[in-house]
């Protein structure tokens, strides 16, 4: 049985916005004119301030679901509400972080972080302070005047996350943001992201191919089937926070990881032989 309840009980800290997805299906035409059935009958409720990860096989519609929630593409059927408002086009109060940092090479680190502030014509003085605080929180306070080409991949991705958070989004959508990083840098990015989320309590929807990463970070992990993507399971993760290397030895962590892995074994995505 799939547990599709919202996460932590309403009434506690909730700075983020809730999401409600009902009966969402997505079909589109391929470049050759054939129909692709990407998602089928997705029902999901996410509480404001909840951290939810999505794991699933390549091509199961994980990124498509993020684009639907952001309003950048329309659903074929069904409805999506963000903050109680039905999504009918691109929405505000949302930030997206992709696997590639897409920083502007001709702008300094600080100027890159402040880009959404300029675009949205927000108060430059208060947001400059916010940007500097964010950079300090990820150890980049000495790199404000550097350019992206002078940074490592992990440093660039930290800048991209700071750029997303500087606008205080109620909703943060993250599409495999650490997929291109080496293992040690990825481990540190997990800790940095958790720390910032614990402070700000945005709603986070996080796509990853790493089962352990999903369990480490999330309140709940949504397990997707092969295309057309459907929700195969939802794993509620009540491990105490903050989480770190010690969490991986917790029997509940191991249990959650194995439960998700069994789904992928059943789907034929993983093989033990």
Reported in sequence order, the residue ranges of the chain that DSSP labels E, i.e. its strands, are: 19-29, 35-46, 51-55, 77-82, 85-86, 94-97, 171-175, 203-207, 220-224, 231-236
The pLDDT of residue 266 is: 86
Q: What are the tens digits of pLDDT across the range 93-137?
A: 899 999 888 999 999 999 999 999 999 898 999 999 999 999 998
Q: Contact, 204 vs 172, CB < 8 A?
A: yes
> Which two structure tokens, joined as six digits, stand for 204?
């986070």
| All residues at 6 or more sequence positions from 249 whose CB lies less than 8 Å from its CB, including other chains | none
Beta bridge partners, 135, equal none
Q: What are the tens digits of pLDDT across the range 12-47?
A: 334 689 999 999 999 988 777 788 899 999 999 999
The pLDDT of residue 259 is: 96
Nearest to 137 by CA among 213, 73, 199: 199
The pLDDT of residue 62 is: 95
Task: Tell me phi and psi for residue 220, to 5 degrees.
Answer: -145, 150
Q: What is the distance in angstroms between the CA of the first residue and the CA of the last residue of the chain? A: 28
Q: Contact, 8 vs 219, CB < 8 A?
A: yes
Instruction: Give the domains, in start order, of the chain with CATH numbers.
Output: 1-93+188-273 (3.40.50.300), 96-168 (no CATH)
**Cα separations (Å) of 247 from 31, 128, 207?**
45, 35, 20
pTM: 0.89
Q: What are the tens digits of pLDDT across the range 188-212?
A: 999 999 999 999 999 999 999 999 9
**Cα separations (Å) of 264 from 81, 177, 233, 254, 259?**
30, 22, 11, 16, 9
Question: Coil, strand or helix: which one is 125?
Answer: helix
> Which two structure tokens, joined as six digits, stand for 70?
């952001």
The pLDDT of residue 15 is: 67
| Separation CA 272–CA 178 (nearest Å) | 26
Q: Which sign does the torsion angle of CA 72, 7, 49, 172 carry?
A: negative
Residue 90: band (very low, low, confident or very high) from pLDDT cuts 50, 70, 90: confident
Q: What are the tens digits of pLDDT across the range 130-173?
A: 999 999 989 999 999 999 999 999 999 999 999 999 988 999 99
Q: What are the tens digits of pLDDT across the range 52-86?
A: 999 999 889 999 999 999 999 999 999 999 999 99
Task: Tell me phi and psi for residue 35, to 5 degrees.
Answer: -90, 135
Beta bridge partners, 205, equal 52, 173
């Amino acid at each position: 049985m799939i547990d599709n309840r919202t996460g932590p009980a309403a009434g506690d800290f909730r700075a983020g916005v809730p999401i409600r997805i009902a009966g969402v299906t997505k079909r589109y035409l391929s470049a050759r004119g054939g129909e692709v059935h990407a998602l089928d009958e997705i029902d999901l409720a996410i509480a404001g301030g909840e951290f939810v990860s999505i794991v699933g096989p390549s091509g199961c519609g994980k990124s498509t679901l993020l684009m639907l929630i952001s309003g950048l593409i329309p659903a074929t059927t069904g409805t999506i509400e963000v903050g109680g408002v039905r999504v009918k086009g691109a929405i505000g109060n949302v930030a997206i972080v992709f696997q590639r940092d897409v920083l502007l090479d001709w702008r300094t680190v600080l100027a890159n972080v402040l880009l959404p502030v300029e675009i949205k014509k927000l108060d430059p003085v208060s947001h400059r302070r916010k940007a500097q605080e964010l950079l300090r929180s990820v150890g980049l306070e000495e790199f404000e005047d550097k350019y992206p080409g002078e940074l490592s991949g992990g440093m660039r991705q930290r800048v991209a996350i700071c750029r997303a958070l500087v606008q205080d989004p109620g909703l943060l959508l993250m599409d495999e943001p650490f997929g291109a990083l080496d293992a040690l840098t990825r481990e540190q990015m997990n800790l940095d992201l958790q720390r910032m989320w614990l402070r700000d309590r945005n709603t986070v929807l996080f796509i990853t191919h790493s089962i352990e990463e999903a369990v480490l970070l999330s309140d709940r992990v949504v397990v997707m089937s092969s295309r057309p993507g459907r929700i195969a399971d939802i794993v509620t993760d009540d491990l105490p926070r903050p989480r770190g290397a010690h969490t991986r030895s917790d029997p509940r962590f191991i249990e959650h990881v194995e439960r998700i892995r069994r789904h992928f074994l059943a789907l034929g995505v993983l093989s033990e032989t």
